A and B are shown apart, each in its own frame.
Chain A
Amino acid sequence: MNASGTGDQGRGTRGTRRETQDQGTRPDRRGEGTRRERRDAVVVPEAEFRSYYGRPIIKAPVWRYDIPAYLFTGGLAAGSALVAAGGDLTGRPALRRAGRLTTLAALSASTYFLINDLGRPERFHHMLRVAKPTSPMSVGSWILAAFGATAGPAAVSELAPLLPRRGPLGLVRRLAPSAGRVAGIGAAMIAPALATYTGVLLADTAVPSWHEAYPELPFIFAGSALASAAGAGLIAAPVEQTSPLRRLALAGAAIELAGAHSVETRLGLLSEPYTTGRAGRLLRAGRTLTALGVAGALLGRRSRVVSALSGAALLTASALTRFGIFAGGVRSAEDPKYTVGPQRNRLTGRENGRERR
């Protein structure tokens, strides 16, 4: 019964922790390294830490697969609304139609996932009883509501050709395209907020690897949203209209990969959950598929089949990235070393600063 440590290396008493910190050659790098670094004799001290029988300090999210799935569908809906508006305004009807219908489908899936994840789904409407800027989930609920109120009508306007040409319904049929355009532009203006608030949603928690990644998460999600929407468009639209999507895929992938690279390298010990285990596998697979998807989108511009396969790769990659980021955060909540280590170093740094003064 040793209350001072966990697992194979956490058994540091106060003495050993201090010793390892003193050995550090990079003391301001939060004093922690991965196991591999230690084995390779790169002298970055292991985060020796104490804990209560290795039990987690914070509670991991109780969110199930619904939430990472929503991160994907919400991003897809947002990106597709931008594709739809772009297609509408630049005379690419196939992009407009595909974008609007993808938006509606992804929005419906999002709503399902969000309600399904609630402990009390029948109380979903309690989300709209207050508007709280301190709660990213409250802000997000309102963004999603506004987005639904615009993207929904835009998608429905695509059904206008099914209406009769004459009579009152004929009038509706004639007005639908302009109403759809107004609604679609409205949705496109809300879309960037929908795609990026989810980064704040995850970061505004005590989950160490999410919180410390707050500068990157909205960018990763924005890039992933663009890439996935480009992917959906590449599957649905004929190649003559898809040149903007290929550029969009490239831009989205670049933003996403730059952000992911940053969280995987910038956060010291808190990068570890993103590079190892399940999260590491998901993110690596996502990165590979993103690269393949972008390459296919750029090189296969004359082939509908190659374009569609590239689109499928981009969509899958986006989903893998979302699940990977989610899994990395959960992992960092489950092991107390990710909570204790950085906080302890922060305290030590503050004490040292005080001594110097």
Chain B
Amino acid sequence: MGEQSPASAGYQQPPPRMGFFTDTSVCIGCKACEVACKEWNQVPDDGLNLLGMSFDNTGGLSANTWRHVAFIEQPRNGDTGSGMRWLMSSDVCKHCTRAACLDVCPTGALFRTEFGTVVVQEDICNGCGYCIPACPYGVIDQRRGDGRAWKCTLCYDRLKADLTPACAKACPTASIQYGPLEELRERAQARLEQLHEAGETSARLYGHDPDDGVGGAGAFFLLLDEPEVYGLPPDPVVTTRDLPAMWRRAGLAALTMAAAAVVAFLGRRP
């Protein structure tokens, strides 16, 4: 993790940073992760919807969906057999190293845990909604009828009790792997090489790189196509990276405004 990483957030001798590695090449789309998450975290239902686009009737992550399984049906390259392939992928909050939701939260409701994860304190959140458009992945959302913002906690309560998060525990194919982030990154690299050797050249890691726009994700993925096919942004950047430049522009605009007012009042009387 490194002592200087923003993910360590000033904790004295924190436990190792924990995260998820979601290997979508072995996801079978059973949605056990979605169900286990709802059960453990007592997340309300998100309606009985038939979206009519695939086996995915959830659509995406939301205040009431903290794990979401995407189903992508596409023509197979270099047609063999059926000519189609299914891509399935369980999406989740990325628990970014540089988390925009956390940066912009004006109440301090969002905080960095000792495990390097990002969690909303439900007794503090006042539902200002700022974190929602700040997230470059569209993860966090406002719960209707409740007003507050909700998202995956990486099962903070279970982590504190040294338990595996519910989704990873329920995953029957080890598509969702939980553990110290450093270890997961090594495991992911080995798996990527294995797939490349087996001829699955479309395999790529997503969110694993500590030098990417969010400083690396705490929950990263092995994908079999471009990220946008799974509904993920291809090159996410934490919006607050440009904040110093933004404040400078605002300062310049404020000076311009004050100068305009002074000039307007100092001008001669007609």
CB distance from A267 to the nearest CB of B (A): 14
- Could you say which of B87, B142, B251, B265 contacts A90, with CB atoms under 8 Å apart? B265
Q: How far is the CA of A223 from the CA of B259 in the complex (A)?
A: 12
B249 — which chain A residues lie within 8 A by C-beta?
Answer: 199-200, 214-215, 217-219
- Residues 1-55 (chain A) with a chain B CB within 8 angstroms: 1-4, 14, 49-53, 55
Q: How far is the CA of A296 from the CA of B265 in the complex (A)?
A: 19
- Residues 84-116 (chain B) with a chain A CB within 8 angstroms: 87, 100, 103-109
**Contact (Cβ within 8 A) B254 A196:** yes
> Is B137 an interface position by the 8 A CB rule?
yes
- Residues 49-75 (chain A) with a chain B CB within 8 angstroms: 49-53, 55-63
**Contact (Cβ within 8 A) A222 B254:** yes
B143 — which chain A residues lie within 8 A by C-beta?
Answer: 119
Known: A58-B136, A58-B138, A134-B104. A214 touches B246 (CB 8 A): yes
Known: A192-B255, A192-B257. A247 touches B148 (CB 8 A): no
> Is A292 an interface position by the 8 A CB rule?
no
Among residues of A, the one whose C-beta sits closest to the C-beta of B60 is: A55
Q: How far is the CA of A261 from the CA of B237 in the complex (A)?
A: 26
A284 — which chain B residues lie within 8 A by C-beta?
Answer: none
Per-position contact with B for A202-213: 1 when CB-CB < 8 Å, else 0? 011111000100
Q: Which of B20-28, B122-130, B165-173 contacts A (4 or more CB under 8 A)?
A: B122-130
> Is B269 an interface position by the 8 A CB rule?
yes
B236 — which chain A residues lie within 8 A by C-beta?
Answer: 206, 343
Mostly helix, strand, loop or mixed at chain A's interface?
helix
Q: How far is the CA of A59 from the CA of B229 in the complex (A)?
A: 17
Q: Which of B41-49, B70-78, B175-183, B188-196 contacts A (4 or more CB under 8 A)?
A: B70-78
Per-position contact with B for A244-272: 1 when CB-CB < 8 Å, else 0? 11011001100100000000000000000
> Is B264 an interface position by the 8 A CB rule?
yes
- Could you say which of A82, A137, A255 contacts B130, with CB atoms under 8 Å apart? A137
Known: A118-B127, A129-B107, A214-B249. A222 touches B133 (CB 8 A): no
Q: How far is the CA of A56 from the CA of B138 in the complex (A)?
A: 8
**Contact (Cβ within 8 A) A252 B260:** yes
Known: A119-B129, A135-B105, A141-B106. A343 touches B233 (CB 8 A): yes
- Could you say which of A58, A130, A200, A223 contacts B108, with CB atoms under 8 Å apart? A130
**Contact (Cβ within 8 A) B232 A118:** no
Q: A4-B74, A53-B54, A344-B235 are in contact. List 19 more A-B contacts (CB 8 A).
A: A49-B228, A52-B72, A52-B228, A59-B138, A62-B141, A82-B258, A118-B127, A119-B129, A126-B109, A127-B126, A127-B128, A129-B107, A130-B108, A132-B103, A138-B107, A203-B246, A204-B246, A205-B133, A205-B239
Would you give 9 A-B contacts (Cβ < 8 Å), ordered by A?
Answer: A3-B73, A51-B229, A82-B261, A119-B143, A126-B126, A196-B251, A206-B236, A211-B242, A251-B263
The 3 A-B pairs with the shortest beta carbon distances in the complex, nearest first, are: A119-B127, A119-B147, A52-B231
